[in-house]
Amino acid sequence: MRYISTRGQAPALNFEDVLLAGLASDGGLYVPENLPRFTQEEIASWAGLPYHELAFRVMRPFVSGSIADAEFKQILEETYAVFDHSAVAPLRQLQGNEWVLELFHGPTLAFKDFALQLLGRLLDHFLIKRGERAVIMGATSGDTGSAAIEGCRRCDNVDIFIMHPHNRVSEVQRRQMTTILGDNIHNIAIEGNFDDCQEMIKASFADQDFLKGTRLVAVNSINWARIMAQIVYYFYAALQLGGPARSIAFSVPTGNFGDIFAGYLARNMGLPISQLIVATNRNDILHRFMSGNRYDKDTLHPSLSPSMDIMVSSNFERLLFDLHGRNGLALAQLMDSFKTSGKLSVSDERWTEARKLFDSLAVDDAQTCATIAEVYKDCGELLDPHTAIGVHAARECRRNLATPMVVLGTAHPVKFPEAVEKAGVGQAPALPPHLSDLFQRDERCTVLANDLKAVQQFVSQHGNRGKPL
């Protein structure tokens, strides 16, 4: 499998090189040159497979030529063995034909574990093979950080630096990052917002002199391996509900467009998906595009669903690439214009094409709390605020009641006690046993100014098991 950049000027790479590169050298994002496509008969034959075996079938074409089947199978088995539910991604019914796909049974209680437990193991595999070390830099609005740290903490050849916006993540989210201690784990709280953190990552990829020759790797959803891993659970959910003989609709809480882009790819790979709903909070750049063809930067508003408090959705570029006929030059010009003006729209024809599959809704905090309360009253299920946004959007935007609607349950409600308490459903749930002492654990974190040079200097001074590079 070869991968190309959305901006058309970077060399085509194999899976191993794409994993280690993260961002393309021309500032674009890597996508498969040709997407694999499965027949209905092939998909149907996967019904009843354990999660790790289905993952092998779905992902194998993406890694071909870079890792042997037996090694890949073993990595996948180890990856999903650490989840605390034997189904890995169980479905929970809320009402008639509406389901939540629970993606929070991994070590850090969020959907990011599906990709980042795999990413850590793949990185270790390839770095050991090459005899190399790497520095990982990541930005998080809440869940990516802890999942990345948990996925990479045992990697001998990696130092990981995770930046989060200071005082803008929940206490549980922060402690899940800052209480994992190790010579190769570095938490940085930036005095800014998530987008500031994300911009620093992109700037660091553009100019890596501060790393003195050490390889820089991305763990954010700009890394193709993240998207690849997320495709699998769309197939898994559909197979539980009668797919591929019937089509399925999905509602996806999303800020960065990575998780829902995986659903778009699953559909293009042959899975019958009739509708994808972009569920956002009041930081609604994606909804503004899907509803009115305006992808314009706006002020960032803190919310009860902080993982979606994002002004610009990095992965949206991958969809724009397809909408522009995979013309890298056209997309590079579009993204340059967006960088300058903060405004973007596409031709009516391209926007109409996107609307055939996508619907969207922006859900405010009051509606989020009302949905948490309603679902709890109706069926006793407690939702985290991001999943609640997905449920509300599903109910408002649903095109066909006969089509099963699956809402992606992106995090465990224990991570967001403020939202649960505001919803008025009683006490916030208890932490699971492996995190029961989370509030007693020692924390380690460095607060830095919103300054690229200060961050790069910190990485340079601590990037070799805590010592200078």
Q: What is the dihedral of CA 307, 308, 313, 319, to 10 degrees?
A: 100
Mean pLDDT over 438-443 rounds to 95
β-bridge partners, 252: 278
Question: Taking the CB of residue 296, how many other CB atoms lie within 10 A of it?
Answer: 15
- For residue 377, give every residue at least 6 positions away whose Cβ sits within 8 Å of its Cβ, in sequence order, or none: none
Q: Residue 170: pLDDT band by 50, 70, 90 thresholds?
A: confident
- SS3 call for 294: coil
- For residue 120, give every residue at least 6 positions away whose Cβ sits within 8 Å of its Cβ, in sequence order, or none: 148, 150, 151, 152, 153, 154, 155, 158
- pLDDT greater than 80 at residue 153: yes
Task: Report how far residue 429's alpha carbon sits from residue 409's, in angstroms, rounded to the nearest whole number.
Answer: 16
- pLDDT greater than 80 at residue 428: no
Q: Could you tell me if 1 and 62 are in contact, meaning their C-beta atoms sit under 8 angstroms apart?
A: yes
112 is catalytic: yes
Whole-number Cα distances in Å, 53 to 71, 172, 238: 13, 32, 16
Question: What's the maximum distance between 2 C-alpha atoms anywhere in the chain?
Answer: 60
Look up tokens 């902080």; give the residue.
Answer: 306
**Helix, strand, coil fractions of the chain, as percent rounded to 5:** 45, 15, 40
Amino acid at 8: G
Degrees, nearest 5: CA angle 161-164-165: 145
The pLDDT assigned to 341 comes to 96
Least confident of 34-38, 54-58, 413-417: 413-417
Domains of the chain: 87-109+225-422 (3.40.50.1100)
Mean pLDDT over 313-339 rounds to 97
Q: Residue 118: pLDDT band by 50, 70, 90 thresholds?
A: very high
- Dihedral class, residue 167 (left if φ above 0, else alpha if ψ from -120 to 50, else beta): left
The pLDDT assigned to 198 comes to 87
β-bridge partners, 98: 95, 405
Question: pLDDT tens digit string along 53-68?
Answer: 999 999 999 999 999 9
pTM of the model: 0.94
Question: pLDDT tens digit string along 219-266?
Answer: 888 899 999 999 999 999 999 999 999 999 999 999 999 999 999 999
Whole-number Cα distances in Å, 308 to 2, 45, 175: 31, 36, 19
Which position among 73, 112, 377, 422 bears the catalytic label? 112
- SS3 call for 358: strand
- 446 versus 170: the higher-pLDDT residue is 446
372: which 2 tokens? 């948490």
- pLDDT greater than 90 at residue 142: no
- SS3 call for 101: strand
**Axis-axis angle for helices 316-323, 258-268 (nearest 10):** 40
The pLDDT assigned to 426 comes to 78
Question: pLDDT tens digit string along 279-302?
Answer: 999 999 999 999 999 999 999 999
DSSP 238-273: HHHTTTTTS-EEEEEE-SSSHHHHHHHHHHHTT--E
Task: Report how far residue 220's alpha carbon sits from residue 226's, in angstroms, rounded to the nearest whole number.
Answer: 7
DSSP 295-338: ---------S-GGG--SS-TTHHHHHHHHTTT-HHHHHHHHHHH
Degrees, nearest 5: CA angle 107-110-116: 70
Task: Report how far residue 139's alpha carbon sits from residue 145's, in angstroms, rounded to the nearest whole number.
Answer: 7
Q: Could you tell me if 330 and 7 are in contact, meaning their C-beta atoms sit under 8 angstroms apart?
A: no
